[in-house]
Amino acid sequence: MPYDISENKRDWYREVSSRSRARKKAATNGELPYDLNNINKPILQPKKLMAQKPKNGLRVLSLFSGGGGLDLGFERAGFEHVASFDILDICGETLKANRPHWEILSGINGDVTEVVWSSYKGKVDLIHGGPPCQPFSIAGKQRGGHDERDMWPAFIDAVLTLMPEAFVAENVPGLLDPKFRKYIDEIILSPLTPDYHIIKFKAVASDFGVPQVRTRVILVGFRSPKAANSFQIPEPTHLPQDSLFSSGRFTPGARAALGLKDIGFDCFSPTLRSGFTGPRKSTSILNSKASQRVWEKLHIWPNGVQKSRQDAVMFPPENGHFRLSVQDCAILQGFPEDWTFQGATYQILGQIGNSVCPPVAYAIARSVSKALGF
């Protein structure tokens, strides 16, 4: 459906788009001044936020795998991969490129509503996944169970068929809005609580070293009451840079994380918008007017993200701000440099923006592992 905006606003978008195309053409022709010696070198190394743990013997099945945020975090925490499912072929290509030895099912084969889960019985100790969040997000118009993208029933079906020792589900904070209380009680909790003890909590990305304002709702379920009682909600491992009277580790601001020069101001990046949201194939990570003001203060341009850092340097914005590459967006999401994404730029941004930040997934995985006695 088209955006419900005024004709004046449409004219403004057309003008901006026209100027952007002209400037992009000039950049492609080498007509804009640039200096390839100014390519940024990020200082944030997400792998250091996720020290590789020894294999713990727990086997994990991944649903709605996307760009692999949960998969990577659980792998780093010592879990053994069983299979990953995603309806998008491009997500399967990304996972196969990074982990060619994994069992990856995507496209038609990745449709979790059509899988016969009984073939995995006895092979899975934990199921994790983030059922599509659009039905509960503001951007997705919050239609909940009336949205055809609602995949909670499919996730629950997999859990109740395989009956793993635990499950981890992730979604947007909007899931906890009062308007969805009946949905949560009847569609999610009611079928699961006879067999699982469920803990709900919020996970904040910056608490785990990721320089982004991003909060997600996490549901963790255990079959064993003992495991549920011993589960500890992950404690923050990092603090904001402006925290006082602490000797703990600090989460850097977005500029520092990306290795940009000091301009006298830095803060966490706003939540990255997914390139899969909205009717256009957007290469913007801008998600609101409020976030636009933050990006402006950071002197970072959130639109027209480029495929590489070199391309970004060769295509400077009109206002002289720093243009992002997909690699920079991945760093701001907590993905290590060696985790590569396949597809067009908007598809890469879609995979990044839809992912659970890997260090957050890692912290959750570590807590679940300990609760299960590993």
Residues with catalytic function: 133
Type of residue at 32: L
Six token digits for residue 367: 């807590």
How many Å apart are CA 372 and CA 374, to the nearest integer? 6
Nearest to 125 by CA among 99, 156, 151, 159: 159
Six token digits for residue 307: 């495929």
Q: What angle do CA 54, 57, 59 make, to 5 degrees?
A: 115
Query: From edge to edge, which strands make up the β-sheet containing 166-171?
Result: 104-106, 80-86, 59-63, 126-129, 166-171, 215-222, 197-204
Six token digits for residue 301: 């341009």
Burial label for 52, CB within 10 Å (0-12, 13-18, 19+), is exposed
Six token digits for residue 312: 């970004």
